A = this chain, B = another copy of it.
Amino acid sequence: MKIVILCGGSGTRLWPISRTLFPKQFCQLFGDKSLFQKTVERNLSFAESFSVVINQEQYFMGLDQLEELKIQRPSHFILEPIGRNTAPAIALAAMVAKPDELMLVVPSDHLIENQKAYDECISNAMDLAHRNYLVTFGIKPHYAETGFGYIEAQGTDVKSFKEKPNLATAESYLKSGNYFWNSGMFCFKAGVFLDELKKYAPDIFSQSQRALSSKSKESITRISLEDMNSIRSESIDYAVMEKSEIVKVVPADIGWSDLGSFDALYEALPKDHHGNTTTENVIHIGSKNNLVVGGKRLISTIDVEDMMIVDTTDAIVIAKKGSTQKVKDLVAEVKKKNFEMTNVHTTAYRPWGSSTILEEKSDYKVNQITLRPGSQLSLQFHHHRSEHWIVVSGIATVTIEDKTFTLNPNESTFIPKGAKHRLANAHGENLVIIEAQVGTNITEDDVVRI
């Protein structure tokens, strides 16, 4: 079966942990693997291949995280320049697959705690998909959630799809036992899905086909912005599932959470006997039932209850539990004041490694740059600044104008204004340098790539 992993997400609901360019599926919220990596591992036993539908800006992050797992399965990335909801994403993935191929479509940012129950559900879904059904997964609700759509089921038959209910309706759904949360996971043959898409959303079908036809089908499929823009934005539920007559549902009680808010994250994280999430570098004095997510800094609380405290290098959020849906309002406010902070962290992840701003003033900037083995920065020069590089770990291969030389730890070099230069790591361990940029323009604007 082909596992299609959807990597959408705007990085707003768990801001400032998640950012537009670092959405929550790539964050290590549970131990040392990201939700994306956990999604890959959860499906390894069914997977013949992986197809990752991902924003083009996040391709390298996704590729890195996949490669870290060292899995022995073919993988394919479909790079979207912008998101157009799930129907186009899944259509593109289905069109790249063979028509008879089974596809399991899964979001990359959900938590599933009961692997055994999950395996059984997938097995049941595969049986139904083999028999040419479109299979959805209905999560058994444990409380009256008003933020999800519901599926009304009778056994594996779908009676109806329901919009997000009000609280009274949600409570009646919970009581009845026949209503399930729509999980955003699907299983079907690629060709069966495409036939139904053609029937119920022919525009999305043909637009997606056109977007794809202009591409050679390699290990990466890049969709152009123009092509992607031409596809109607729509969810698979509206486009197909709610209309198709061959839909089945597999009820699933699998320890599922969409981690769609800090409140949901609090529920899912391990907690100590005072109800505080167990986080390193925290001191609580008389505090109870708090979510604390932090980084390097010491976080300490005194007599704090039912709060969310989320600390990152450049921003901290303190919110009352139950109010965390307002994080989106906060992100809107932050955008007004400082757009970059909603997009990126102080540490930026790049194809070649990462870069962390240590200090930034109007006329100089100090960065810590990590280059992965075998990677290099583009050949470039700057009109308005010179740079100092000090190797602190690994071996640098430095090009300045027509000279190339190596620098060992504790060696440094100077790149004058206007000099073409390149930093590369030709060795087998990470290269870490401290870079001091000094000049009248230390922004990305003054990077001339050759």
Contacts and interface: CB of A to CB of B under 8 A. Distances in A.
Interface of A: 283, 285-286, 296-304, 307, 309, 311, 313-320, 323-324, 326-327, 329-330, 333-334, 337-338, 341, 356, 358-359, 361, 363-364, 366, 368, 386, 388, 390, 392-393, 409-410, 412, 414, 434, 436, 438-439
SS class, residues of chain A in contact with chain B: strand
Contact of A286 (B317, B323, B327, B409): B323
Contacts of A366: 358, 366, 368, 434
A444 to B, nearest CB: 19
A315 B300 contact: yes
Contacts of A324: 302
A303 B320 CA distance: 6
B319 A302 contact: yes
A359 B368 contact: yes
Contact of A330 (B302, B323, B414): B302
A208 B363 CA distance: 53
Nearest to A391: B438
Contact of A318 (B318, B386, B410): B318
A319 to B, nearest CB: 4
Contacts of A323: 286, 302-303
Copy count, this protein chain: 2
A11 B286 CA distance: 22
A439 B309 CA distance: 37
Which 3 pairs show the lowest CB-CB distances between chains A and B? Answer: A302-B319, A303-B323, A303-B320
A368 to B, nearest CB: 6
A283 B330 contact: yes
Contact of A438 (B283, B285, B368, B390): B390
Contacts of A329: 285, 302
A392 B438 contact: yes
Contacts of A436: 390, 392, 412, 434
21 contacts: A283-B334, A285-B333, A286-B323, A299-B315, A300-B318, A300-B330, A301-B318, A302-B318, A302-B323, A303-B320, A304-B307, A307-B318, A316-B316, A358-B359, A363-B392, A364-B392, A390-B438, A410-B439, A412-B412, A412-B414, A434-B436
Contacts of A299: 315-316, 318
Contacts of A359: 356, 358, 368, 434
B363 A393 contact: yes
A300 B334 contact: yes
Contact of A309 (B298, B318, B410): B318
Contacts of A319: 301-304
Contact of A302 (B285, B296, B320, B410): B320
A10 to B, nearest CB: 18
Nearest to A412: B388
B315 A297 contact: yes
A394 to B, nearest CB: 12
A322 B299 CA distance: 19
Given A298-B338, A304-B307, A358-B358, 16 more contacts: A283-B333, A298-B314, A298-B316, A299-B316, A302-B327, A303-B319, A304-B319, A318-B318, A358-B359, A359-B434, A361-B392, A363-B393, A364-B393, A364-B434, A390-B438, A410-B438
